[in-house]
Amino acid sequence: MNERASISIERSEKRKVIMENPNEASRGSSSTAPAIIVDESERSTVVMERPPKWLLPILVALEPHQPETKEHIHKVPPFLHGIEKHKGCFDPMMVSIGPYHHGKKELEEVEKLKASIAKEFIDKDIDKLDWFEEVARNARLCYDADANDNNDDNNSNNNNDGKFTRMMFLDGCFILHFIWCMGKNKLNETKLRAHQLPFVLGDLFLLENQLPFLVLQALMDFKGSISDWEDCIQKFVTNSRLNLDGSSHLTSFKINDRHPHLLHLLHKVLAAGEEKIEFQKKLGHTFRSVIELKTGGIEFKKSESGRLKDVELQVHRCYADLFLPQLVIDDLAKAKLLNLVAYEACPNGPTDDSIVTSYICFLDALIDHAEDVKKLRSQQILINLLGSDQEVADLFNELARKLVPSPSNYTTVMDQIEDCYTSKWFKWAREIRSTHFSSPLTAVASIVAAVIIILTFAQAYFAVFPRGGGGGDENRRTPKPSRKIHYS
């Protein structure tokens, strides 16, 4: 054993080498010789007491990687992908973008359109694209390593045919062409059939179907006006959100800002608003459904913005108004919401306390049955394009499975709701409503009874205090004696 035994560990920023004592084997495991740790990045040597053998694998184990960059595109977390009722919500139905779903046979129809769309998009400048190879190399770093195995430009089996670069180019041109046609209201120029349009729109906001925004930025810089692109993308994302109103309150963004992908922009639009850190003040109260809160004096109204953070309770003397943002529930809403939730669950997800996840849990607490949905629908808080109200109620119960809301979202408003519901004024008003106004018939009877009581009181009052005075003897007029005529 004349050679030194060593273990090398590669890291993203530095390299450490633990040098074992060269004569360790001859002396056995009882050796107390120190272990030498060399930090090659700093060219320094640290001598430490010899650790037990069982501890050595821990010391030399790979340190956790640095946090992924915001541009990294993760796959859907297993805890969401494994739910049977969520099956299909994370897979594209019409078009694949990026390597995760590339090559699926069921997506071939639209895949065949990409080459002609790219040629039309670039037009006469198609011979000036040498710079795109560098863009594709940067884009590859945004995907999981195993996803690039079959699309590796440096893989000898692919004969260096630039498969990944070509995929990035075709997908980028397709997305921008689609966004341009949608923004300019030229749907007939998309090369897609009418029934394909909504599915493509939904596919472009799936977590595993994202293209690094740096690819889109490079193509937009190469082709067209930046201001025109910003306007088109703003319209595209705004029209893809989950509500119909409040577009004037939505957050704008610049193309040259650092955006990971389109799903991030959709999340930014929905989650925009003043950052409020609200920590839980109470524990253990049971949240109540829409119908129960309504009977308790809390009415539901639609907020004017389309931001999920804009939930507000306005408290009055004996009642309160709860303002909620509008949501459109259609066939694609479930997939869109779940992919936003999956994005929030990613290691490089948005850092705004999982607002979409929290709002789904908040609505799940409010919605138990179809009657709850009916009430929210009557106030335009939920736009039901899915089917029956019971289907919408079931949808939110499914969406909230295995989701944990952030403790800093909606906690304050939930505490306010509970305080209002249990306050003595609300209880008093609730008892009056339940006793005297539970139905139109009892309401009319109560009003009639109240009128009779008031009239009876008035009659008694005027019997004691006639209209001529206040009822006191001193205020009564002494009648004048009648004039008598005497005859002689």
pLDDT of amino acid 284 = 46
Closest CA to 135 of 220, 229, 224, 218: 218
Mean pLDDT: which of 20-24, 26-30, 308-312, 424-428 is highest? Answer: 308-312
The per-residue pLDDT for range 42-66, each reduced to its tens digit, is 444 455 567 788 877 777 665 555 4
What dihedral angle (degrees, nearest 10) is formed by the CA atoms of 334, 336, 337, 340?
150
pLDDT of amino acid 166 = 96
Reported in sequence order, the residue ranges of 303-355 that DSSP labels E, i.e. its strands, are 312-315, 320-324, 327-329
The per-residue pLDDT for range 247-302, each reduced to its tens digit, is 545 567 777 788 899 999 999 888 876 544 343 445 545 578 999 898 888 899 99
pLDDT of amino acid 54 = 85
Residue 329 φ then ψ, to 5°: -110, 110
Q: What's the Cα-to-Cα distance from 15 to each of 44, 62, 64, 83, 335, rounded to whole Å? A: 11, 11, 14, 41, 43
pLDDT of amino acid 206 = 97
Q: What's the Cα-to-Cα distance from 276 to each of 39, 249, 272, 283, 352, rounded to whole Å? A: 43, 17, 11, 20, 10
pLDDT of amino acid 68 = 56
Name the region of 471 (left: φ>0; alpha: ψ -120 to 50; beta: rest): left
Mean pLDDT of 314-341: 90
For residue 104, pLDDT over 80 is answered with yes
Strand, coil or helix: 15: strand
DSSP 287: P
For residue 11, pLDDT over 60 is answered with no
Contacts of 211 (CB under 8 A, 6+ apart): 97, 98, 139, 168, 171, 172, 175, 261, 262
Distance (Å, rounded) from C-alpha 254 to C-alpha 388?
Answer: 40
Distance (Å, rounded) from C-alpha 218 to C-alpha 147?
Answer: 23
pLDDT of amino acid 479 = 57
For residue 77, pLDDT over 70 is answered with yes
Lowest mean pLDDT among 243-257, 366-380, 436-450: 436-450
> Is the distance from CB of 59 to CB of 18 less than 8 angstroms?
yes
Closest CA to 116 of 173, 158, 167: 173
With cut-offs at 50, 70 and 90, classify the pLDDT of residue 440: low
Strand, coil or helix: 457: helix
Mean pLDDT of 110-126: 89
Could you tell me the end-to-end alpha-carbon distance of the chain, in angstroms, rounded to an integer?
168
Mean pLDDT: which of 10-14, 286-290, 333-337 is highest? Answer: 333-337
Closest CA to 265 of 340, 329, 181, 199: 340
DSSP code per residue over 403-416: ----TTSSHHHHHH
The continuous run of DSSP H or E covering 218 comes out as: helix 213-222
Q: What is the pTM assigned to this prediction?
A: 0.75
Average pLDDT, the chain: 78
Closest CA to 170 of 103, 72, 265, 233: 103
Lowest mean pLDDT among 89-103, 171-185, 380-394, 451-465: 451-465
For residue 39, pLDDT over 80 is answered with no
> Is the distance from CB of 305 to CB of 283 less than 8 angstroms?
no
Task: Please report, as a single letter, which amino acid is at residue 73.
Answer: I
Mean pLDDT of 463-485: 60
Tokens of residue 65, six digits? 């990687």
Distance (Å, rounded) from C-alpha 322 to C-alpha 313?
Answer: 4
For residue 22, pLDDT over 50 is answered with no
pLDDT of amino acid 398 = 92
Mean pLDDT of 452-461: 76
> Is the distance from CB of 164 to CB of 136 less than 8 angstroms?
yes
The per-residue pLDDT for range 158-212, each reduced to its tens digit, is 444 699 999 999 999 999 999 999 988 899 999 999 999 999 999 999 999 999 9
Distance (Å, rounded) from C-alpha 257 to C-alpha 400?
Answer: 33
Q: Pairing between strand 327-329 and 312-315? A: unpaired
